[in-house]
Structure 1
Amino acid sequence: MTSLDAHPIFLTYIWAVAVTIIFRYVFFAIYDPDLSEPGDYQPSVMVIVPAKNESSVIYETARALDGLDYPSEKLRVVLVNDGSDDDTGHWMDKCATDFGHDVIHLSENLGKRQAIGRAMEINSSEITVLVDSDSALDRSSLIEGLRGFTSPKIAAICGHTDVDNINSSWLTKMQTQQYFIAFRTFKSLEGFFGSVICCSGAFSMYRTDVIKPLMSEWTTQKFLGRARTFGDDRGLTNLLLRDGHDSIYLPQAKARTVVPQTLRVYVRQQLRWRRSFLMESISAVTHMWKRPIGASLMFYIILSLTIMSPFVVSYFLILGPIIDGFNPLIYILGLTLIIMLHQTFYWTFQLPPADKVGFFSLMPMLPVWIFFTLLLLPWAMFTLRDGTWGTR
């Protein structure tokens, strides 16, 4: 058997993964952004919710917005019907009647960016809040989120999103832990350096005077000659970071979102997200080096590890055992230990609904991640120009 020392690239990959995991937990522990007192900053706010074919789901989202703890005279909610061909328009009109929200009906499907852009044309608020059509904000979300705008340099705040349909299936339970871990560790690390790379579309807040001038560029962005039909949240954050603005993460500004319940829908979503990650990362390569050194290093390291991962996993599970006699169980054991670490973190720091999810609910991520790395990620790489949205 050839020693693993003969493969420095794979060893470097393993050490880099270990370092990024350690850094994520270290910065989770030390992340403590400056905050104003609750209610000290109460600007005018417009909440924009674009939707297509969401039917009655949009009503529940609108109901949550109606219950926000914020002065009604300073809050405006705009629902944008992006050319739905079901009864979404009917439900939006009901939202207007029951809650007083404004509704914009588009005669055809223009895409999420264009839908948001239409609402921005009538936006005169100080702060813009973007919310996905299947998300529900907690009552205190606005008050808590606005506490983060303590500096003019901070242009965007990413809220924390948990899973709403936790117990729908084993897949939603797995995603419940994924969401918590990803937000609390990745975004805490990025937020420490004022460089959250993706202010989530589920719930994020922006300074209107900063993003409004970017609307023309953002709504018409193309990649390899084709319009960017997804990755809207990552794309907008990318433009803010490029222009020198900061973005932070506030875990106390909370929302809940509905996640895929079946593997088919989940795979389509993850394929779309991987294309988005790759497209926006390629764009960000040109300017992320200008960000604080910690943010820059982590961005380039994670991008490199992502691109390398199909080759590394192929070696440890397929080529290594054939060529070098490497025991693949060693690698699988390592992955299992990483997942156990993440599960322990979730159960240690997540208050309810931690008790609603079995401790081992994240374990299915082992075969899922291997499948995604070996097949889905390469497929995303080779089909970057495919703008197909798929289904939720």
Structure 2
Amino acid sequence: MAKGQANEEEVLLKEKSDRRLLPHVPDPLGQRTNLDRRGKYTNDEDLTTLLKEHELGVRYISRFPVKVKAESQGRPFKVTGECRDISDTGMLLAVEKDYDLLKEAKNVHLNFKVPAGSMPEGHEMRFRISGQIVRSVDSSQAVGIEFSQTLPSYMDRHKDRYLLLCAAILLAFVSLCVVLMRAESVIYFKYNAVLYSYSLIAAAFLLTRYLFGSFYRPVPINPDFTPSVTIVIPCFNEEKWIQRTILSCLDQAYPVDKLKVYVVDDCSSDQSVAKIHELLERLNDKEGDRYRVNDRVKLFVQEKNAGKRAALVRGVEQTDTDLVMFVDSDSFLEPDAVRNLVQPFQDPKMGGCAGRCDVANTYTNALTEMQSVRYYIAFRIMKAAEGVFDAVTCLSGPLSCYRRDLVMKYKDRWINQRFLGHKATFGDDRAMTNFILDHHRCGYQDTAVCSTIVPRKHRVFLKQQMRWKRSWLRESLMAGRFMWRKEPYAAVNFYIGLIVPIMAPVVVVYNLLYVPLTQHIFPRTFLVGLLLMSLMMSFAQLLLRKSTTWTFGFLFCIYYELVLLWQMPIAWLTFWKSTWGTRQTPSDVAAEEKKGQRKLKRQAQMEGGANEKG
């Protein structure tokens, strides 16, 4: 999709529809096997192999040119066609001429470049790969081509090896530069102890996050560990995405008798409920008896808008499973997300666990691309570093899992939470995490992946970020009361992570305004430090994800320093507010009514003043 359309529609990966609504769900009757589209799975292979095979076989609908060199009827020929859909194992190629030659061709060589957004991140590169014709479609003059090797194998040989080396060298170089600059802070420490202390602490905080993030390893799958799970989806005015969310939660490679999906609608004013009913009817018609849809999928509609926490609690109260998962209504689970996310609960002390959240609409515009890098680093580096010590401070809303008995234990405190006399309406994920983390472990499972829709407009994004900063500040102050009891590194890292963002605006003003204006010194060292920090994010994205979005890590850091950083002082002064800003909660409605009353009062005063002058 062209960038010019970004403001009209989200740019998402377009997977070709499977023959079945729930292709990943193990058939409880044993009459079906979970075959990928090319049918290469055998009963001797395990679940992990099956999921990998399926991932390779997923087709993505796309349109891009493909150059072909081949031999047919004993002579070579060239033709340019158009890719109609592509997977890691092959593509459907349509041509306008020489179709009869192509469908009989031998020694087929393909030359094409995968556009960004056509396949999962990391695939956007040029491929020169051979293949063979495996089928033909006369009606559309298209042929199915099976690649001689999978695209990931090709990338390993022609792209990933060099990216890995270059990114690793650059990341090490940047880290060394940061260390050397902080050595300068030690030398000049006596001239400004406060400033250089902050510099040393901030650098140590960031470098140790990257260091421990590199040590992180997810819990491997134990095929015999399948606790009962209920996925609770709170829904409010999400008619656009709710069907896709429910399908992704239900279509899991997990035993049918161990997984339920409960949707709680918080009195939506759009067509969300109608969309949910429509999907349930479709599921019952196609898969109802086989997969017990009526027993496993339920919809609860709140009598009035009571907030996200109340919706989640209602879903938890209606079930009796060992674990409960919370999934946002605009988030979509990978087929093995549930299987992976339950694994840390083999540890009886594990109270909650977060999965990884990627951005679903990465390529919509520059803002979403920046967020894609930010999300990946926030989870794969920052949250993974906390996960090493089982002290994750936020089990994020898009995908998190808890022991049900713990949620029931804290539900009243959660729903009725107040801060400085105001009811807490957002920050539900951080609040529940605090309740759990106070006495239990909270982990991170990087192999449990979901993708979520992020704001594509700056106005909506800034409101979201302000809400997050307020909840972060409120819940961090609450967590500060018990984090000192955790593992020493986790505790120290938490308190440093609380101080650094709060002090950041003051430090920036001091370095970029006060020093240049009073000392007439250009803040070269400070700006170089910011550059190095941004390059660390970009090079880590390049190293770990091998995506062309890595350059947006640098842009995000600039955006943060120019815009997002200055939300923090506002959050200091308004962190008691309970309005969302991006949805019409009761608090938002009340705030709008007060704002309208103030506006009418000012207008009346102005009219009264004008009449007196007249």
Q: TM-score range by the shorter chain?
A: over 0.9
Residue in 1 that maps onto 2:207? 22
Structure 2 counterpart of 1:235, which letter? A
Residue in 2 that maps onto 1:283? 478
- Return the match for 2:216 from 31, 49, 52: 31
Q: Deviations over 1:130-171 (max 9, x none)?
A: 001110000001111122112110111110111000100101
Residue in 1 that maps onto 2:367? 171
Q: Deviations over 1:276-313 (max 9, x none)?
A: 10000111111111111111101101101122111101
- Paired with 1:49 and 1:201, the residues of 2 have a C-alpha distance of 10
How many residue pairs were aligned? 384
Structure 1 counterpart of 2:500, which letter? L
More deviation, 342-351/173-182: 342-351
- Return the match for 2:313 from 108, 117, 137: 117
CA contact 1:310–1:373 (8 Å) conserved in 2: no
Structure 1 counterpart of 2:366, which letter? W
- Return the match for 2:429 from 233, 237, 243: 233
Deviation of the 1:56 alpha carbon = 2.5
Query: Unpaired segments of 5 or more residues in structure 1?
Result: none
Residue in 1 that maps onto 2:260? 76
- Return the match for 1:347 from 542, 545, 559: 542
Deviation of the 1:14 alpha carbon = 1.0
More deviation, 367-376/219-228: 367-376
Deviation of the 1:98 alpha carbon = 2.9
Q: Deviations over 1:338-368 (max 9, x none)?
A: 11111111111115xx24x2x3212222332
- Paired with 1:174 and 1:5, the residues of 2 have a C-alpha distance of 38
2:443 is aligned with 1:248: yes
TM-score normalised by length of structure 2? 0.61
Q: Deviations over 1:169-216 (max 9, x none)?
A: 101101111011111111111111111000011101111122211111
CA contact 1:96–1:103 (8 Å) conserved in 2: no
CA contact 1:36–1:150 (8 Å) conserved in 2: no
Moved over 4 A (4+): none
Structure 2 counterpart of 1:181, which letter? I
CA contact 2:221–2:339 (8 Å) conserved in 1: no
2:581 is aligned with 1:385: no
2:376 is aligned with 1:184: no
Structure 2 counterpart of 1:274, which letter? K
- Paired with 1:374 and 1:21, the residues of 2 have a C-alpha distance of 17
Deviation of the 1:329 alpha carbon = 4.0
Larger Rg: 2
CA contact 2:469–2:568 (8 Å) conserved in 1: yes
- The 5 A counterparts of 1:81-230 are 81-99=265-283, 100=293, 101-230=297-426
More deviation, 367-376/160-169: 367-376
Residue in 2 that maps onto 1:273? 468
- Paired with 2:568 and 2:362, the residues of 1 have a C-alpha distance of 26
Residue in 1 that maps onto 2:516? 321
- Return the match for 2:527 from 311, 332, 335: 332
Residue in 2 that maps onto 1:41? 225
TM-score normalised by length of structure 1? 0.94
RMSD (Å), alpha carbons:
1.5
- Paired with 1:222 and 1:59, the residues of 2 have a C-alpha distance of 33
CA contact 2:322–2:404 (8 Å) conserved in 1: yes
CA contact 2:351–2:437 (8 Å) conserved in 1: no
More deviation, 371-380/104-113: 371-380
- Paired with 2:458 and 2:260, the residues of 1 have a C-alpha distance of 37
- Paired with 1:184 and 1:346, the residues of 2 have a C-alpha distance of 9
Name the % identity.
33
- Paired with 2:403 and 2:282, the residues of 1 have a C-alpha distance of 29
Ranked by relative contact order (alpha carbons within 8 Å, sequence separation 6 or more), the top structure is 1
CA contact 1:17–1:305 (8 Å) conserved in 2: yes
Deviation of the 1:59 alpha carbon = 0.8
- Return the match for 2:566 from 346, 351, 375: 375
Deviation of the 1:373 alpha carbon = 5.4
- Paired with 2:519 and 2:312, the residues of 1 have a C-alpha distance of 54
- Paired with 2:554 and 2:528, the residues of 1 have a C-alpha distance of 12
Deviation of the 1:71 alpha carbon = 1.4
